[in-house]
Amino acid sequence: MALMTGKQYIESLKKLDIKVYMFGERLENPVDHPIIRPSINSVAMTYDLAFDPEYEDLLTTTSHLTGEKINRFCHIHQSTEDLVKKIKMQRLLGQKTASCFQRCVGMDAFNSIYSTTFEMDEEYGTNYHERFKKYLELCQKNDWTVDGAMTDPKGDRGLSPSQQEDPDMFVHIKEVREDGIIVRGAKAHQTGSINSHEHLIMPTIAMTEADKDYAVSFAVPTDAKGVFMIYGRQSCDTRKLEEGADIDLGNNTYGGQEALVIFDDVFVPNERVFMCKEWKYAGMLVERFAGFHRQSYACKTGVGDVLIGAAAVAADYNGVPKASHIKDKIIEMQHLNETMWACSVACSAEGTKTKSGGYLIDLLLANVCKQNVTRFPYEIARLAEDIAGGLMVTMPSEKDLRGKETGPWVKKFLNGKVGTSTENRMRILRLIENLTLGTAAVGYRTESLHGAGSPQAQRIMIARQGNLEAKKEMARRIAHIDVSKDK
Ligand code: SF4
Ligand code: FE
C-alpha cells in the first residue's frame, strides 16, 4: 500500500500500542481522546489531499528508489522544483488546517539523514546510506508518518553532552551489542510524536570526540519497548473536554501536538542505526535538518493566510472594512506574510544537489527565512488582535449565547454591523483567539520563535554563511584601500 487515506491512517494508528501519559495518567485510547484528536485530523489531511485531483501534484510524487507513486512527505527532493513543491504543499496544508500538521519533521529528517549518511560512508567506508535507503523504502511503502526528533532536554546549557551531571540530558548510546545498540535519554517538545508510526532520531548539536556516545541517529517504532510520551499541554486545551463549547474552541477540527518522548533503555537493531559515534558528522546532520525545517516554516504563511482572512472578516462584522487604518493594517499583515514566503521560495529555488543526489536548500536563505519567522507572526498576530478588538478575550461563552436567560442579551449586545449574525462574529473572534492565544498559538507564535531552532541559532548560521570577509574585500577594492599601509 503506497498511499493511505486519512481514514486508513487513523485506523493504522489505532493498531499501535503507544504509551502516552496526560495529566499524570496513561491514556487508554489516545487516538480518540478529544484533546489529541484534532491534531490527528491535521495529519490526516496530509493523506486525504493526496487523493484530491486538485492537489495531487503537490501531495504526491514518484519515489526515486522504487518508481512508485508516494506521498511527498516520504520523498527525497530530486530537484529545486521538488523543493518549491514541498513548500507549496506546506502553505496549502496551513491554509486547510490553520494549525501545525506535524508530518514535515519526518520529511526533513529523511532528507538530511539521506545526504549526510552518503558523505559519512564516503569517509569511513560504513554502510549507513544503504541501510537508510532500505528504511526509507519501508516508510514510503507503508506511507508512514515519521517523527523526526532532534531536540534533547539539554540540561545545563553551558555544558556539552558529556559534561552534564545527568548523562540522560542528551540521547546517548548506553551499550553497543553485536546486533544493535541500547539508547537512553529523551527528546523534548516533539511535534506530532503520538500521531507518528515511527520516530527517527538525530543528534541535537555538533559534537566533539568527548561526546561521541551522543552522536547517534536511529529509527524505532513509536510503540517500541521503552518508548513513551508525556503529552505537552496547550493554553485553553481543556476547552476541548467541555460539552457545548465548539464555538469557544475557535477551531474545533484541527490542531497541533507536542510531547516529551522518553527512551528508557531502548534496543535498536543494527539495520535501524544510521549514525553510531561518528561525531564529526553530527554537525552536518544538525545543520541540514535545521536548514530544511527552517525552509519548512512556509507552513506559517498558510496559517497566516487564515489569520489575515479572519481579521478581515472580523473587520466586516465590526462594520469597519473600509476604514483606512484597517485596510492598511491588513496590507501590512500581507506584506509580512509574503516576505516570509519569499524567503522560503528563495532558499528552495537556490537549492543545490548534494553528493547523494538529494537536493539541499540554500542554507543562508533558509536561515534568513526562519529569522523572519521568529518576528513576523508576532506582528501579524498583534495586528489581528488590534483589528479584532478586545471582545476577542472578554466575550462570554457559547453556553451563554445558547442560555435561556443570557442568550438574548448576548445576541443583542455582542452584535456588530446591523443585519449580521452575532454567532458568526463570535466564531471569527474565537478563531483569532485560537490562533494568537489558544491551542494553535503554540504552532503559530511560540513555535515560530523556537521551532527549528531559537533566533540565536539562525544568527550563528547567518554569520557562518554570510561570507563577511568577501564583503569587506569588495569595500576595500572600491575604496582603493592598500592594506599594506595598515599596521
Ligand atoms: Fe510542519 Fe510547520 Fe508543523 Fe513544522 S511547524 S511540522 S513545518 S506544520
Ligand atoms: Fe516545528
- Write out pLDDT tens, residues 34-45: 999 999 999 999
Would you place residue 391 in the very low, low, confident or very high pLDDT band (cuts 50, 70, 90)? very high
Q: Residue with the nearest Cα to atom 1 of ligand 1?
A: 104
Supply angle C-alpha 121, 122, 127, rounded to 5: 25
User: Angle, nearest 10°, between helix axes 282-296 and 363-373?
Assistant: 50
Would you place residue 1 in the very low, low, confident or very high pLDDT band (cuts 50, 70, 90)? low
175 strand-pairing partners: 182
- pLDDT per residue over 286-310, tens digit each? 999 999 999 999 999 999 999 999 9
Ligand 1 within 6 A of CB of 87: no
Distance of alpha carbon 159 from alpha carbon 3, whole angstroms: 44
Would you place residue 315 in the very low, low, confident or very high pLDDT band (cuts 50, 70, 90)? very high
Amino acid 420: pLDDT: 98
Amino acid 236: pLDDT: 96
Active site residue 293: yes
In sequence order, the 6+-apart residues with CB closer than 8 A to the CB of 62 are 68, 69, 70
Structure-block grid coordinates of residue 36: 489529541
Structure-block grid coordinates of residue 63: 519515489
Q: Which phi and psi (to 5°) does residue 155 adopt?
A: 50, -125
Residue 204 CB-half CA count within 13 A: 24
- pLDDT per residue over 62-106, tens digit each? 999 999 999 999 999 999 999 999 999 999 999 999 999 999 999
Distance of alpha carbon 135 from alpha carbon 148, whole angstroms: 14
Active site residue 278: no
Distance of alpha carbon 247 from alpha carbon 429, whole angstroms: 10
Of residues 252, 211, 261, the one with CA closest to residue 232:
261
Ligand 1: centre distance to CA 161 (Å): 27
- pLDDT per residue over 368-386, tens digit each? 999 999 999 999 999 999 9
Active site residue 299: yes
CB 288 within 8 A of CB 76: no
CB 392 within 8 A of CB 399: no
Of residues 97, 60, 84, the one with CA closest to residue 302:
97
**Burial class (CB within 10 angstroms; exposed 0-12, middle 13-18, buried 19+) of 483:** exposed
CB 186 within 8 A of CB 228: no
Residue 481 has pLDDT above 80, yes or no: yes
Residue in the structure block whose three cell numbers are 540565536:
456
- Give percent of the chain above pLDDT 90: 99
Stretch (H or E) spanning 57: helix 56-59
Across the range 14-37, mean pLDDT stands at 98
Across the range 120-145, mean pLDDT stands at 98
CB 109 within 8 A of CB 289: yes
Q: Which residues of 255-283 are buried (b: 16+ CB within 10 A; e: fewer)?
A: bbbbbbbbbeebbbeeebbbbbbbbebbb
439: helix, strand or coil: coil
- Dihedral class, residue 211 (left if φ above 0, else alpha if ψ from -120 to 50, else beta): alpha
Of residues 304, 326, 328, the one with CA closest to residue 377:
304
Ligand 1 within 6 A of CB of 97: no
Average pLDDT across the chain, whole number? 97
Options 297, 317, 359, 444, the catalytic residue? 297
Of residues 206, 377, 203, the one with CA closest to residue 305:
377
Amino acid 2: pLDDT: 87
Shortest-distance ligand to the CA of residue 444: 1
Ligand 1: centre distance to CA 465 (Å): 24
Structure-block grid coordinates of residue 334: 500581507
Amino acid 487: pLDDT: 84
- pLDDT per residue over 433-456, tens digit each? 999 999 999 999 999 999 999 999
Distance of alpha carbon 40 from alpha carbon 91, whole angstroms: 18
